[in-house]
Structures are given as structure tokens and as C-alpha cells.
Chains A and B, each alone.
Chain A
Amino acid sequence: MKKGERVRVGVDTGGTFTDFVHHAGGRARVFKVPSTPDDPSRAIAEGLRRAAMEAGVRVRDLEVVHGTTVGTNALLERKGARAALVTTEGFEDVLVIGRQARGSLYDLDWTRPAPLVEDALRFGVRERVAADGSVVEELTDEEVESLVKKLKRARPESIAVCLLFSFTHPEHERRIERALAEALEGVPLSVSHRILPEYREFERTSTVAINAYLQPLMGTYLGRLGAHVAGRRLRVMQSSGGSISARAAAEEPVRTILSGPAGGVVGAAHAAGAAGFEDVITFDMGGTSTDVALVAGGRLKLTNEASVAGLPVAVPVLDIHTVGAGGGSIARVDAGGSLRVGPESAGAVPGPACYGRSDLPTVTDANLVLGRFGGADLLGGEFELDESRAVGALSKLARAMSAAGGRAVSATEAALGVVRVVNAGMERALRAVSVERGFDPRGCALVTFGGAGGLHAVELARHLRVPRVLVPRAPGALSALGCLRADVLKSLSRTLMLEVGSDAKAQAARVERAFGEMEREARSALKREGFSDERQRHERTIAARYAGQSFELEIGWDGGRRLVERFHQEHEARYGYAQTAASIEVVSARLRSSGLVEGLKDERPRRSASASSNVKPQRTARVHFDEGARHVDVYRREELPAGARLRTPCVVTEYSSTTLVPAGSRAFTDRLGNLVIEL
């Protein structure tokens, strides 16, 4: 490697391990370092030293892209800053009241989570802007002064500002911003028209408040990490699947709160893309929950309606659908005789019955009783499983099922039932992100990663008629790979509110003008970050709806020629009908600008090679299927060469996961080392 050349490293912080992926000698290299939860940057510093050594460069020559859980954890554990909030007078309680609905209809004990900003730190200012951007009531200098005084006395660690209709007329927010920046130097500010210039005051306020809540923490963390990695370039994975500079992440940490899961989806999409598949459903099944997401035509799907820890987050986030079920989900028979699985989870402690510390029948126990781990223990044998305890737990469940339904149920049948129930929940999630959004999954690949996914993926693919399942090489490090491969992403938008009418040409020109302005801005910003014009991509979409609706559909902008027709088609595909008589409103123009990361050498896109060599299984094991038990081959993933063909049905075990391949499918490894199962 030449001196001064930068080596990119993807870093993903997990609960137990911090994963690293980097490129040296034309191959991706993967390794793990134990995480240091009290200060995650220590583990990162250690890993970066190792990466630099392997690549033969200095640490300062590394370019680091980091997936972090610092923001998510602070939000989940409520360990953020003492933040203040400035609103329009009369709306000081918007964070408390929210949308005025309760989260659970029949739960008499339901309680709303406390607001991120406490009562005494929410301040209203006299001012008012109307929906059309006109000023109803001026913000006076006295009002600003009085606000500054109150905030000085309150000494918050950060401040969020969100005034009504600031996205139509940001001047009042700007004046408050200037006054606060001057008077409370060093206190970070989160201002709504900058972070999220879109309507709906509760969702916007919530987003801005989360930002303020996380700002001090994220600033400190990234600052510390920067110190560990002197002279480097540090970038952070956003929830939208692209990276931003550490500085931008420190200013707008709300954009990083789903950083980790986003890395997984991007990594899965790239792994599939390298194997030649552009349409992908990702399936990440862990211990307590499962994430699924759709990547159609290589494009990541975004949503503005996500929520984290029960709080709405209206900045673009990868559209990941989460199900509260995973390997640790507990099975039980309820008072009405139905077999429930989850949402309660055995967690790591006490853990499933087979971990030896409980008698809770979980999904993992069911898989074990069914022989689906192929007789192997977990984590490459480091973790022994207590099968007799699992059988005991499932037998007890079977007795409860027999009593409830009036039919005798064996432990094996109970285990099959647990798997069926959990699969049904997964299938609904997979359908929700594909079929129910007008996407036909019959041409795509299901990419599975996460410890528990491989045992369920092929069965799910069969139900959805997805023709193939891909288990990427090193599935444990997929999030870090996603960080490594993530493009630099800037999202810009302008609210337009144009009703498409007779002067379509003039309107199209206005939309074009908005795109032109945004693209100039994005181009120069990406250039500053070192992306030449050839390494930039700018995608134009518009958010449109029938005039009168509240929800927008996003469609690509084609200069406005077939806009109306394409909108009707999209509405039809999504909702089953179109209103050809209704007029269409273009709500906003959205630009997604990417700085493209160069392709990695050993991942040239190509279709999977046809398999050639047969390999020998490690052993055989007895596995229960719905149609009965049979002996199947068990392969060790680590021993499979590229291009290996497996005899099915079989079980493939590897360090952090197990894959079940039922009869009637073809399984092989492709040239990149991915395990591919064709149905």
C-alpha cells in the first residue's frame, strides 16, 4: 500500500464484541475485539491499531466509518442530557400530550413515558407564523431577551427550538438561535427548521428534542473517539443507511439512532448485490427481536414515520420492520388455550432452558428439541446446550397444550408448534414490507443474518415463494461491512405544496428549479469531502398525494412528463385503487445525494457460479420436520470451499449461527463464499 493512501475500516459496536472489517491486500478482513461498554471508544482504538498493522499503514491513514449504539442506548436507558425546549406560547406541553391517544386500548395500567424535557425546562415564546408563512405575531426583542434570561437561569445542557410553522418562515427560529448562541456559548442548539423542515408539530418537536437530548453525549463520545484516532477521518453511519461526518453526527445525533441496524441492512444488500441479486429482503433474527427490511433494485427504502423507545423520529430512517420475537422468546399457553410465543423473552439471563439456568421453553429450545442445531453447541462449541432441560421444558408445554385443546400433543409436536407460531409472525413481517407494499417477492433473495435466522429462513422463503436464500460469508460482521460499504449520503428536501394543474409546465419548472438549487448545494458539499463529479449520484424524488390526503407516496422525478399517470399507478399498487378524477399535490421535492464509495476488488457483481464439487459432511444428525424425523448431513461452514455443493436436507453450522436446509432445495457455496439455497 502506498504511503498516504487511505484504508477504509468499518466498525460496528455490539453488546459483546466490536466488529471490524477492512481491506488489505485485495481482500476484506474481518476481526472482533471485546467491547468496552463503559467507553466504547477504547475497544475501537484497540481494533484500529490492529487494522492499521494488518494493512501496513499508520492509524492516522485509516478512514473509519462507525456504526454506534451510543445514541440508541442513551435514549432507551434515558441517560441523555438535561435539555430545554423552546416552543410557541401555548404549545409548551406538545411533548407531553403528543397525539393525545393512549398506547394500549384496554390496558388499565398503561402509562405514557415521561417527556425527554422536564416541565420546568419547557419555555413558550410569544410569536406566531401562519400556514402560508405570513407573520401573525412578531417575535419582539423583549421576548427574546426574556427567554435568554430564563434559559441562563435554568442552565440546560442543550436546547431544542421548535416553533409552529417554522418551515414556512424560519426567521423567528433563526433570531432565537442567534441570541442563544451568543448568550449561552457552548450549549448545543437543535433548531427545527434545520433538522426537519416538515409539518406536524408533535413529530417535529419530538425529533428535535431527541436531538438535543443526545447532543452533549454524542459530542463527548465522538470527541473522545477522535482523540483515540489522531489525524484520521471519522464518519458515522446514519439511520438512513449512508454515512455522515463525525461533526455532522455530533450536531444531529438523531440521525444516528438506528445506526447499527442500518449497517446490517446495507451490509446484507451489498453482500447480495455482489452475488448478483438486486432485490433483497433482509432478515435479522436475534435473541429478543427480529428486523426485516426490503431493498428493491438495490435501493434502500426510507420512512419518516419511525419511532424509537416509543418516541417518534421523523427524519429519514431505513424502513426496518421489527417483530418482538427471536430465539429467546418464551412460549406459553394462555388462558384461552392459544399457544403464544413472545413478546416476553428469556434474554441471556436466565436464558432459554437449554442454557441450564431456567425451565422456560423458548424458540431456541424448540429448535434444539427438533435436532435443528445438528448436534452442535453454540459459538463453535464454547457454549454447551443442555438438551434434557430443553426436552423437559417442551414436555411441560406439550402437557398444557394437550389440556387446552383436548388433543394429545407430544414434546416434538409442541416444538414444531412453537416454530410454526414464530414463523407465522415473521412471515407477516416479511409480507408487510413486501407484498403489502405492492412488491412481488417471487424474484428476490432473502438474506439472513443474526444468530437465529438461518433456522427459519428457508421455511419462510418457501411460504413467501421467495426462490432463494443467501447466508452471507461472515454474517456476524455484516453491520461492520455495511459501514465499510455505505455511501456518503446527504438528504435535502424542499416543501412545495403544488397542486398539479393546467400550468403544469410552469410547475415543472419550479420543481426543476428547487432540484437545481439543492443539487448545487449537495455537489459542492460532496466535493469538499473529496468526491469528484464522477463519484457522485443525485437522485430526485417527489413526495406526492391526492389533494386532501395526509400521506405522501414517493415517486421518482422524471421532469414531470408522466407524473400524473405514474402517481395513479403507484397508488393503485400500494392501496388497490386510483382516483383518476382527483388532482395531485406535490408536497415536497427530495434529493438524495451520494458520494460513492469505490467498489471493493473481490466483490465484482456476478451471478453465483454453478456449483461443481461435492463435499463431505462432518457427520449426520436426526432432525424433526413437519413431515417427520430423518437423518440429515451436518456441514461445518468453515470447511466449505467456494463452489461446494451440499446434499439436502442438511444442517450447516458455523461460529455464530446455524442454517437448516430442508429437503427439496439446492444448496451450494458461491465463489464469494456465500451459502446459497435455491428452492
Chain B
Amino acid sequence: MKRGFDPTTLEIYRALYTSVAEEMGLTLRRTAHSPNIKERRDYSCAVFDSAGRVIAQGDHMPVHLGSMPMAVAAALRETSIGPGDVVALNDPFAGGTHLPDVTLVSGVFGGVLGAGDWVLGKTKRLRRGANFPTPKPQPPTPNPQPLFYVANRAHHADIGGATPGSMGMATDVYGEGLRIPPVKLVVGGRVNEDLMRLLFANVRVERERRADFEAQVGSLKTGAARLLEIVARAGREEAAEYARHLIEYSARMMRATLRTIPDGVYEAEDALDSDGVKDEEVSLRVRVEVKGERAVVDFEGSAPQVSGPVNAVEAITVSAVAYVFRCLVGAEEVPASAGLMEPIEVLAPAGTVVNATHPAPVAGGNVETSQRIVDVLFKALASALPERVPAASQGSMNNLTIGGTDPRTGREFAYYETVAGGMGARPRVDGVSGVHTHMTNSLNTPAEALEYAYPLRVRAYRLRRGSGGRGRHRGGDGVVREIETLAAARMSLLADRRARAPYGLEGGEDGKRGRDSVVRGGRASRQEAKGSRDLNPGDRVRIETPGGGGHGKDEG
């Protein structure tokens, strides 16, 4: 049934659905309590059609690109979502990525405006905001089918486990924190308080967690309300029809991009420094076959899953592939809909570091391995598209967590942050210094916000000069971030590119590797890139992040 479409209407829906996802993000950011969400914007929001296919996703975190759809798929597979229900999940083996990323999913039902009576804790609705235009109430149907689904995912600063911040060095998923399979957090508008109590008994900083969950629910409500306004105006048939056209639209855009890549087979190898348990490289291999307007991305030959927490579940690998090809589409605003990956097949053998199975530890798969998947893919594609592909960026997110008890309040705290580094040089321009690259785009926590919130003091936050690789175009410099703790605390670091440097391309030099230390009493000692340690008041953690690779031979 191909009746064609109206390019005007398509454009209107493209912008409309995207703006719904963006607005959900805005609500979440402005109402969340943890600095990680409100200051660093470590979250994603998306809109799905009635079959659970993603229609639009906000430009939030690329690492969530391919993984949000899997979360919704898992929620739909394992629960049935009715009006006023909210499903929560973080299980990496059932739609999640790593445990701190908690995804909330709800349905959007005709006649129920944003499931407006959701209640969390002692919160109650005081009055309805001026939502306009108000959809006409429709008679309830006995077995309602949702018109859409909405979902958001936020990185909670702690989800339990041995290490504050839940990003420590566990050897299985049980040690990493609380695993939440798809369960109903809210049922028919009422919070499942028993479940909440169980949840909050297992995580640090309950107050903050509760507020962040409320913000996530509020964001779903915003999305639902906006979608119902669209339906009220255009009718559900047109809204659904153009959701479908949008998915096809993204697929057409991707096919057009694939046609610009010369047919052929492109291969590359890269590696993580180690898994944090054994001191040996964890190898990643990819073979990309491009033929016409289709591509097959095969990770056969990558290392088997490891006992340290750098295993990536399949959702992450798909996200990284989606990210790389989305970049090749260019700066054009294309909705990250289900259609984007339609022409691309990803083969990630189960039981490997790119498709880990239960009970592998996965905390770093999301944040470190995802970056290396991007690196190896770009490395392979560099020979196909030497004019477009950049040299390697820093290739790490430099995940730092510090937790303990705040002496000012007697309350627990858990600080989590990722640190920027150098961007790889591009074929026509230098790499950017001190910036987040590829799979993350989270902001820093301002020193002045951080020090209000935690018993920490930022001692330095500056560029690491000369760390970018030389070349015709230089790689961007990494940064130095030094944080002093004012309380006894436990820190953990999860970082990479401390052994193998970010690669240069076309004769450009590699970027400088990162390095880390703890300064105690004026004396610095080396800190493992993947590991935890106890800190005394006055200790300073110093992170020096990698520079980006250079591009082209330096002629001068």
C-alpha cells in the first residue's frame, strides 16, 4: 500500500515529533535534582509509534541512539502498558545499557491527557497548567491501544553496588548495582510504593533518586500531552500515517548516504587498553561491506567477553554503528527514527565484548567500549572516505566517581562526571580541544555548582597543551581536571587510551595518551585508569585526558 506522501506534511511532522522529544528533555533537565541530569544533561528522550518503533529522538546522547528502541521493545515484551502505567528498567540484558541508565516508558492513550494523575511520593497535582488546545475527552474504550509510546533515559548518579556511583570494578553485573527488569513503577496512575521502597533501599542518596524519578515521569507527561495535542488537531490516522512516513524518510536519507560510499569491504582493528582486571588489550575488529545502498557491519573476530566491566551489550554496539553512519549523513536534521538503521545490518557475535551476555559486568561498555567501536569503524571507513573521516578522538569518557558522606550535612553524596578530551583532526580542519566527542555530549558540572553540591573543590580545569597529535591538521588538546576532596571518600575511575594512543590518519601523529594520578601531601602517585581507591580529606585526583590524533603529514 504505497500511496505516496505530501512533502509539506512530512516536513511539518518531522519538526513536530522532534520538538516533542526535545521538549521532554527540557522538562527533565529543568526539574531533575542531580547535577548529572540537570547540569550535565546525561539523558535522552524519544517518541515511538504504536508498534514501538522510534519516530524521533532528541539530540541528547548518541550512545542512546540505538538502545532506546530496545528498551521500549523489552518493556512491551515483558509487560503490558495500560493508561497511567509507567514501566522502569535498567537491565542491560533486557533493553538496558548499563545499570545507572534507568529508562522509563509509558503509553499515550487517546482521551487520557498525559495520564495526568500520576502521583509519586507525596506529590500531588495542584492544578492543571494551561495545556492548549485541550483535546476533546473521548469515551474510554474497554481495551485501549496506545497511540504512541514515550520514553526517557537518565543516568542516575548511583544505582547501588559496591562503589558509590555504581561505576566500579565489579566482575559480574550483580556487583555493579541494582538490576531492574521491566517492571511497573506506576500502575494506573498510582505509584507502586512497595517497589519504590525496595528500590530506594538499594541505592545511595534516596532523596535525589526520588526527585529524579519524579522529573522523569514529569517529562513523559509533557511528551504525552504534546502528542495528544497533535492527535487532537490532525486526527490519529494522519498522525500515525506520517509517523510511518518519517521512518521511511530516515531510511531514504541513510540509503542516499550509503550510495556515496564506494562499494567494497573495509576492515580495521583497534583495542581497549585492558578490562581493568587482566593487564592485556581487549581487541575489537570490524569488517564493513558496502554494496549500493546497503551496508553490513560485522564484528566477527572481536575479543570474547571479559571479566572486567568493559563489556558492551548489543544495544550499545548498534548505537555506535548508528552514530557513525548518522554522522556520514551530515549536518542535516534527520530524525533518529527506526528507519535510520533499516539499510544497515549489524552482526555482533553473542558472547563477545560487543554483544555480552548475562552475567557479564557492563558499566564501561556504555561509556568506554562504545567509543572504541566508533574508533574502529571510522578507521575502517577512512580508506573508503579519506576526505570525510576524522582521526581518532580521545576515545574515552574518563568516568570519575567520588562518594562518601558530606560533613556539612551528614548526608551521603555520589558525584559522577565524565571529562572532555581532544577531538581528532578532520581532513580539512584541526580537531577541537577540550570537548566531548562521539558517543557522549554531556556538559561539565560548573566548579561553582559542584562545590555547592558536594564536599569537593575543583583545583584546576584547563587544557592539556601539546597533547593533540601533530599533522597538517592538529588533533585537539585534552584537558587537565584536578579535584580535591574535603571529606574521606571513595573514588573510582573508568578510563581508557592510557596505553594505546588515539590514532592519527594520513600521516598525522597520534594524540597523547591520558594519565591519572592522586596527589597526597604534595606527592603524586599513579592512579590506575580502571580502579578504585580510598581518599583522605585533602587528596587531589588529577585526570589528564588524551589528545586527538592528527590528520595529514606536518609539512612545516
Interface residues of B in 323-347 (CB under 8 A from A): 323, 326-327, 329-332, 334
Q: Are A201 and B446 in contact (CB under 8 A)?
A: yes
Q: Are B451 and A102 in contact (CB under 8 A)?
A: no
How far is B222's CA from A91's CA once the two chains are assembled, in angstroms? 38
A-B contact sample (20 more), CB < 8 A, given A93-B479, A130-B457, A548-B33? A90-B459, A91-B462, A96-B434, A99-B446, A100-B443, A106-B331, A107-B330, A112-B435, A200-B446, A201-B448, A336-B334, A337-B252, A339-B7, A405-B5, A406-B3, A407-B5, A424-B12, A550-B35, A578-B126, A581-B122
B166 at the interface (CB under 8 A from A): no
How far is B460's CA from A418's CA once the two chains are assembled, in angstroms? 51
How far is B189's CA from A563's CA once the two chains are assembled, in angstroms? 29
A and B contact pairs by CB, cutoff 8 A, 27 listed = A89-B460, A90-B458, A97-B461, A99-B443, A99-B446, A100-B434, A100-B442, A100-B444, A106-B62, A111-B429, A199-B448, A201-B447, A203-B446, A334-B253, A339-B7, A401-B8, A405-B6, A417-B6, A435-B132, A465-B132, A548-B207, A550-B39, A550-B449, A572-B125, A575-B27, A577-B118, A580-B126
Knowing A90-B459, A581-B123 are in contact, say whether A428-B32 is a contact too (CB < 8 A): no
Knowing A90-B461, A424-B16 are in contact, say whether A405-B7 is a contact too (CB < 8 A): yes
A404 at the interface (CB under 8 A from B): yes
Interface centre among B30, B114, B131 (most CB of A within 10 A): B30
Q: Are A164 and B448 in contact (CB under 8 A)?
A: yes
B428 at the interface (CB under 8 A from A): yes
Q: Are B129 and A417 in contact (CB under 8 A)?
A: no
Residue among A101, A130, A406, A428 making CB contact with B441, cutoff 8 Å: A101
A187 at the interface (CB under 8 A from B): no
B2 at the interface (CB under 8 A from A): yes
Q: Are A337 and B130 in contact (CB under 8 A)?
A: no
B437 at the interface (CB under 8 A from A): yes
Q: Are B250 and A436 in contact (CB under 8 A)?
A: no
How large, as a class, is the contact surface on chain B? 35 or more
A636 at the interface (CB under 8 A from B): no
A568 at the interface (CB under 8 A from B): yes
Q: Are B12 and A420 in contact (CB under 8 A)?
A: yes
Q: Report the minimum CB–CB distance from A163 to chain B (whole Å).
A: 11
A110 at the interface (CB under 8 A from B): yes
B89 at the interface (CB under 8 A from A): no
Residue among B30, B129, B249, B479 making CB contact with A337, cutoff 8 Å: B249
Q: Are A92 and B462 in contact (CB under 8 A)?
A: yes
B206-231 CB mask vs A (1 if < 8 Å, else 0) is 01100100100110011001000000
Q: Are A405 and B38 in contact (CB under 8 A)?
A: no
Q: Are A339 and B8 in contact (CB under 8 A)?
A: yes
Interface residues of A in 333-376 (CB under 8 A from B): 333-341
Please give, as numbers and ranges, the residues of chain A lying within 8 Å of B15 by CB-CB distance: 424-425, 428
A547-576 CB mask vs B (1 if < 8 Å, else 0) is 011110000000000000000110111111
B127 at the interface (CB under 8 A from A): yes
Q: How many residues of A contact B (CB 8 A)?
A: 82
B23 at the interface (CB under 8 A from A): yes
Q: Are B460 and A91 in contact (CB under 8 A)?
A: yes
Please give, as numbers and ranges, the residues of chain B lying within 8 Å of A106 by CB-CB distance: 62, 323, 326-327, 329-331
How far is B434's CA from A101's CA once the two chains are assembled, in angstroms? 9
Residue among B59, B208, B390, B446 making CB contact with A199, cutoff 8 Å: B446
B247-281 CB mask vs A (1 if < 8 Å, else 0) is 00110110010000000000000000000000000
Q: Report the minimum CB–CB distance from B341 to chain A (whole Å).
A: 14
Q: Report the minimum CB–CB distance from A95 to chain B (whole Å).
A: 11
Q: Interface of B with A (CB < 8 Å)? A: 2-8, 10-12, 14-16, 19, 23, 27, 29-33, 35, 38-39, 41, 59, 62, 114, 116, 118, 121-127, 129-133, 207-208, 211, 214, 217-218, 221-222, 225, 249-250, 252-253, 256, 323, 326-327, 329-332, 334, 388-390, 419-420, 423, 426, 428-430, 432-437, 441-444, 446-449, 451-452, 457-463, 479, 482
Q: Report the minimum CB–CB distance from B231 to chain A (whole Å).
A: 16
How far is B249's CA from A335's CA once the two chains are assembled, in angstroms? 9
Knowing A107-B331, A336-B256 are in contact, say whether A582-B211 is a contact too (CB < 8 A): yes
Task: Summarize A's interface: helix, strand, loop or mixed.
Answer: loop
Residue among A93, A405, A465, A549 making CB contact with B461, cutoff 8 Å: A93
How far is B427's CA from A108's CA once the two chains are assembled, in angstroms? 10
Residue among B41, B124, B449 making CB contact with A580, cutoff 8 Å: B124
Q: Report the minimum CB–CB distance from B423 to chain A (whole Å).
A: 8
Q: Report the minimum CB–CB distance from A397 to chain B (whole Å).
A: 9
Knowing A90-B459, A465-B133 are in contact, say whether A108-B388 is a contact too (CB < 8 A): yes
How far is B437's CA from A216's CA once the two chains are assembled, in angstroms? 37
Residue among A102, A337, A465 making CB contact with B435, cutoff 8 Å: A102
A441 at the interface (CB under 8 A from B): yes
How far is B482's CA from A101's CA once the two chains are assembled, in angstroms? 19
Q: Are B124 and A546 in contact (CB under 8 A)?
A: no
Q: Are A576 and B221 in contact (CB under 8 A)?
A: yes
A109 at the interface (CB under 8 A from B): yes
Q: Could you count the A-B residue pairs with CB atoms below 8 Å apart for me: how many are there?
A: 251
Q: Report the minimum CB–CB distance from B379 to chain A (whole Å).
A: 14
How far is B59's CA from A164's CA once the two chains are assembled, in angstroms? 31
Residue among A101, A165, A417, A465 making CB contact with B436, cutoff 8 Å: A101
In this complex, what residue of A is CB-closest to B131? A435
Q: Interface of A with B (CB < 8 Å)? A: 89-94, 96-97, 99-102, 104-112, 128, 130-131, 136, 164-165, 199-203, 333-341, 401, 404-407, 409, 416-418, 420-421, 424-425, 428, 435-436, 438-442, 465, 546, 548-551, 568-569, 571-582
In this complex, what residue of B is CB-closest to A104? B331
How far is B458's CA from A401's CA once the two chains are assembled, in angstroms? 55
Q: Are A136 and B432 in contact (CB under 8 A)?
A: no
Please give, as numbers and ranges, the residues of chain B lying within 8 Å of A572 by CB-CB distance: 125-127, 129
How far is B222's CA from A573's CA once the two chains are assembled, in angstroms? 12
Q: Are A108 and B126 in contact (CB under 8 A)?
A: no
Q: Are B441 and A102 in contact (CB under 8 A)?
A: yes
In this complex, what residue of A is CB-closest to B440? A101
How far is B417's CA from A99's CA once the two chains are assembled, in angstroms? 13
How far is B442's CA from A65's CA once the two chains are assembled, in angstroms? 43
Q: Report the minimum CB–CB distance from A84 to chain B (whole Å).
A: 17
Knowing A90-B459, A106-B331 are in contact, say whether A578-B129 is a contact too (CB < 8 A): no
Closest 10 CB pairs of A and B: A406-B4, A417-B8, A90-B460, A548-B33, A581-B122, A100-B420, A440-B130, A97-B434, A339-B7, A99-B443
How far is B323's CA from A96's CA once the two chains are assembled, in angstroms? 26
Interface centre among A108, A405, A436 (most CB of B within 10 A): A108
Q: Are A94 and B461 in contact (CB under 8 A)?
A: yes
In this complex, what residue of A is CB-closest to B58? A105
Residue among A335, A417, A582 making CB contact with B252, cutoff 8 Å: A335
Residue among A425, A436, A573, A574 making CB contact with B23, cutoff 8 Å: A436
Interface centre among A111, A128, A136 (most CB of B within 10 A): A111
Q: Report the minimum CB–CB distance from B133 to chain A (whole Å).
A: 7
Please give, as numbers and ranges, the residues of chain B lying within 8 Å of A574 by CB-CB distance: 129
How far is B332's CA from A202's CA once the two chains are assembled, in angstroms? 29
How far is B225's CA from A617's CA once the two chains are assembled, in angstroms? 45
Q: Are B114 and A576 in contact (CB under 8 A)?
A: yes
In this complex, what residue of B is CB-closest to A417? B8
Please give, as numbers and ranges, the residues of chain A lying within 8 Å of B436 by CB-CB distance: 100-102
Q: Are A336 and B249 in contact (CB under 8 A)?
A: yes
Please give, as numbers and ranges, the residues of chain A lying within 8 Å of B327 by CB-CB distance: 106-108
Please give, as numbers and ranges, the residues of chain B lying within 8 Å of A549 by CB-CB distance: 30-33, 38
Q: Report the minimum CB–CB distance from A665 to chain B (whole Å).
A: 19
Residue among B8, B14, B250, B447 making CB contact with A420, cutoff 8 Å: B8
Please give, as numbers and ranges, the residues of chain B lying within 8 Å of A546 by CB-CB distance: 33, 211
Q: Report the minimum CB–CB distance from B392 to chain A (whole Å).
A: 13
Q: Are A131 and B451 in contact (CB under 8 A)?
A: yes
Q: Are B331 and A577 in contact (CB under 8 A)?
A: no
How far is B35's CA from A377's CA once the two chains are assembled, in angstroms? 56
Please give, as numbers and ranges, the residues of chain B lying within 8 Å of A111 by CB-CB distance: 429-430, 432
How far is B435's CA from A96's CA once the two chains are assembled, in angstroms? 10
Please give, as numbers and ranges, the residues of chain A lying within 8 Å of B249 by CB-CB distance: 336-338
Please give, as numbers and ranges, the residues of chain B lying within 8 Å of A576 by CB-CB distance: 27, 114, 116, 129, 218, 221-222, 225
